[in-house]
Structure 1
Amino acid sequence: MDLGNEYEWAPPGVDPTQASVARVHDALLGGMENFASDRAVARKLKDAVPEVVDLVWCNRAFIGRVVDFLIREAGIRQIIDLGAGLPTVENTHEVAQFADPRSRVVYVDVDPMVEPHARALLNGNPYTDAITADVRDVDAVLGHPALRRLIDLSQPTAILIVGVLHLLPDQEDPHGLVKRYMSALPKGSYLAASNMLASANPKAQALEAMLHATMGTGFFRDRDSITSLFDGLVLVEPGVVHFPEWHPDERIPGPLATWEELLLGGVARKP
């Protein structure tokens, strides 16, 4: 595909010359919903940390295990997936509705490509929808008519904000953002959250530097800062851990790989 034709199919509101997080993520997963600018960033990230593709799949696997837990063990039937990105495989609604076909899921992303592609995948699914909104605007997200059609905010609801908070600088108060979402939900609701872990790990330093160089974002945080995202909530065992350590499908075979130490997250219940 030449550059001119590629730009012809860009939907309204999308600048194909500017890489987006959702489309770079799609490119790393081998998807087709991305542009040359996104693929260029994906290549640079892979050059900096060759395991970044494994990291993205690790993130997807964590979300899958979290959603399965929320439906099968926590009794949650409503999920809001913030910064959901473009559809891939084992999407949140697929995992949730495999466990209970009436589970309700709303995807939220600021990239205008996400909503139409998600809706095409949903193919009229009555219990799932996608909206275009900035996750930082809590009122706009929770007040969106499409979300309100599916999600009853007076009932326990799960917020997924996985792979998002490391995109927000401290000045945008990611901790406060999480608290605003959780304060709008009733007791018995759940939070699943994560952040890239700041450390002396050379892969962490290389990935953070490349994210800043290519996307102007990427704010890795220490363990205490990530753990404090769950202040006031009751953490689900084993607490805030590296992704492969959270409810693994199989016993973890020995020490984690260096790249597996880059992600830290957990799940907690609002008491």
Structure 2
Amino acid sequence: MADGSRRSFLPDVDTSRPNAARVYDLLLGGKNNFEVDRQLYAELIKVAPEIPNLVRENRRWQARMIETMVRDGGVDQFLDLGCGLPTADNTHEVVQRLNPRATVVYVDNDPTVATHGLALLADERTVHFVDADLTDPAAVLGDPVVEKALDLSRPVGVLEGLVLHHVPGQERARQAVVGYLSAMVPGSYLALTHPINPRDGGRLADFSASVEDALRPAVKTIAFRTPAEVAELVEGLELLPPGLTTIADSCPSAEQSAKPTGVTRLVLAALARK
């Protein structure tokens, strides 16, 4: 949506300030954005010209993890938390290429995402959308749609891709991980990516801080965590090889596509199994 022609259909959507979901969609090449989002995008590109490559590599990494869950773990139901706007290679598209009968539940409480998500999935039978706050696992898992769609007596694949930096406070973010995994049976998975700021005075810390500053108009509560803080989020879970690593280390081709700033070292990724 490149102009305001459809604003009357989006009564709860604020188009006067940049929106994180719309900016992320723009980074992925999507069209659900307004001029205010494109302005922030332009500022972000000045700081990190390769950041569109990073979000695409993040999407490709998540698709590979879904394949691992389906093929190696036999998972046929997924919970995508903080899913964002529908774009290319959405979770249900990746999943259903592998298993057409698999179930996907998307969760997001952004009004823009809810509007598009509910419209897109109106006729789907195995794909669902829930307008809810992912930081309240009990409320999400107790939602009637989730209770009907997911069988928690069987393994579930939980996805939290580039979303927990929206959650301020380490304990709240930790609960947004363990609150879900504690309700899942053994054999369930968590695929997580999270941007970092080592806060050690080094070049990566300065670069991370500049990206945070560029994004803050869209994400006022932005919280890039240190590597140790991200590791704490997945503490107690079995990390599959190569463990908690950067997108660059988990996929060498990502590093090549994101030079010269090394932006792929800005994000840690892990696939964990309960």
Q: TM-score, normalised by structure 1?
A: 0.89
Task: State the alpha-carbon separation in 2 of the partners of residues 122 and 231 from structure 1.
Answer: 35
Partner SS, residue 113 of structure 1? helix
Q: Are positions 1:67 and 2:66 aligned together?
A: yes
Task: State the alpha-carbon separation in 2 of the partners of residues 60 and 103 from structure 1.
Answer: 19
User: Which residue number corresponds to residue 107 of structure 2?
Assistant: 108
Deviations 1:176-230 (A, max 9, x none): 2211111111222111112112133143232022123553232222222112211
Alpha carbons 1:84, 1:108 under 8 Å: kept? yes
Distance 1:252 1:107, change over 3 A: closer
Deviations 1:34-69 (A, max 9, x none): 222222222221122111211111111111111111
Distance 1:226 1:62, change over 3 A: same
Question: Which structure 2 residues correspond to residues 90-109 of structure 1 after superposition, within 5 A?
Answer: 90-109=89-108
Query: Which ranges of structure 2 fall in alignment gaps of 5 or more residues?
Result: none
Distance 1:90 1:5, change over 3 A: closer
Aligned-residue identity in percent: 37
RCO comparison, higher one (Cα < 8 Å, 6+): 2
Q: Are positions 1:203 and 2:207 aligned together?
A: yes
Count of residues in correspondence between the two structures: 267
Alpha carbons 2:121, 2:129 under 8 Å: kept? no
Partner SS, residue 216 of structure 2? helix
Q: Are positions 1:219 and 2:223 aligned together?
A: yes
Distance 1:28 1:253, change over 3 A: closer
Q: TM-score, normalised by structure 2?
A: 0.88
- Which shows bigger deviation, 55-64 or 39-48? 39-48
Distance 1:214 1:189, change over 3 A: closer
Give 1:6 deviation, angstroms.
5.4
Give 1:76 deviation, angstroms.
1.0
User: Which residue number corresponds to residue 76 of structure 2?
Assistant: 77
Residue type of the alignment partner of 2:174: H
Task: State the alpha-carbon separation in 2 of the partners of residues 253 and 63 from structure 1.
Answer: 16
